[in-house]
Structure 1
Amino acid sequence: MPLASRGRLGSLASVPILACVGYNGMGKSALAARIAMMHADAGRTVLGTARLLDWNNPRPCTDVLCEWPSHGQEGHLAAHPMWRPLLDYRQLFTAKDAHVWADEATGVADARGSQSMPSEVADFIPRLRAKQVTLCWTTIHWSFADVRLRRVTWAAVWAVGMLEQYHGDEIWGRNRLFYFRAYDAKNIPDDFDLSKRDRAGQSQGLRAMVRGWVWGPRWDAWTAYDTLDPVASLGGSDGTGMCLTCGGHRGRKTCKGHAPTERQVVPREEAAPVAVDDAG
């Protein structure tokens, strides 16, 4: 990576579960994309809620099976052959020797109880090692993601963008210089705030393990990631019947009580042996 201090930012690709945190336009998703590029180069499948573009052969997307929202629009480029869209939680259960890129974790594992990730997924994430699956997720603020996802994260990178430049009538400027700091996630409090410093100048007493500067115009991450492209949210339903698209619950049959003489309804394959009274 250009201007990467001590050349250590590339080592973040080896972190099994990594978080990239930062406000809009600060470079967190670009860093996640650059990490996904390393995994794709290593021949690993990349499951992503954001598209990983084919940086080796940039070209318009002509895939007739592409259902991405921006397909057919100007600037929609072909995806990398190792990339697969992550659209359903159940894809995680069958993934093997793959890298998962969950961009904007509030669409994947929101901290709010009504939209938190399903318990099945929360139980599965700590077992990613058995499947040789790595995970990189991004969010605007550390506290926005589900606490269960934060607890199993190994390291978190805070992204800061500078020297913004405006093109045409754009309201949001595009930063050209990026500064990244990686911390040990197990020491990060839920209310972590980079603006809070101690006497040693450390953020809430935490010392960054890795620091790095990247000059944006020379960064190859932009050849594999379109910052203005839509991000997918995961669908499906969990074991409690909660819809993973809207957060609502599917209706269940209401029990209004039964008479003592009514028989219990048991599926045939699960029916228990019937006890016979000796007197009868």
Structure 2
Amino acid sequence: MAVTKTDVALASALADAAGAAIRPYFRAEHGVEAKADLSPVTLADRAAEEAMRKLLIAEAPMDGIIGEELGERPGTSGRTWVLDPIDGTRAFIAGRPIFGTLIALIEDGWPLLGIIDQPIAKERWLGVMGRPTLFNGAPASTRRCRDLKQAILGTTSPALFGDDQLHAFEHLDGAVMSTVLGGDCYNYGCVASGWMDVVVEAGLKLHDFAALVPVVEGAGGRMCDWQGDPLHAGSSGEVIAAGDPARIDDILEALACRGH
């Protein structure tokens, strides 16, 4: 099923609703708690997801919903909205405006539409498969990278890698010009806009990466797993984003050393 103007308008309205819920809590009392997996959650996370779900139930009641904080609501349309109200909660609670709201529309497990929204800086990337990615309404484009030695690499934290994944990442780290830590979903927006070249992460869940795929690929980049396969609902959570698709094989070669 093709993405319609109504879908895009609804996705944008979801981002607006999430941003309105998040902003009052930024650099203010946000009621941080630890979840069962010890990751942080705040009142802003919950308020933003509740606002988005309320809108979806009203506007697209046949569609399913998968949210990081409030779980899954099955649908009957074959389409599912995947929500991460605050990707980068640690940055949020530290007062750093490099977190984002992630909104994806998937069908049969494949991402069709994605939004990365930074509600404090009011920066928004909108990607729809088969269409150019927009950054605040203007076309976004990745940049060419002739060699990994010229690349800026990003990852949220090496602490999120397993031992063999860390070994592989360190090998890639040694092959690039520089590496930036932190950033969560914001890094992928930076790749889409041509400010960074590569992001490599592991342990991501569907709500962490579904929205990123249409954004990066619509800007001219490529996303895949650590085996070079396209990302979908069944992917392992090992993720690569490359602004220049020509560098994917180089990245895969560097990561292939895990455990050696």
More strand by share: 2
> After TM superposition, is the score higher than 0.5?
no
Q: RCO higher in 1 or 2 (8 Å CA, sep ≥ 6)?
A: 1
TM-score by length of 1: 0.24
User: What TM-score, normalized by structure 2, do the two folds share?
Assistant: 0.26
Rg larger in 1 or in 2? 1
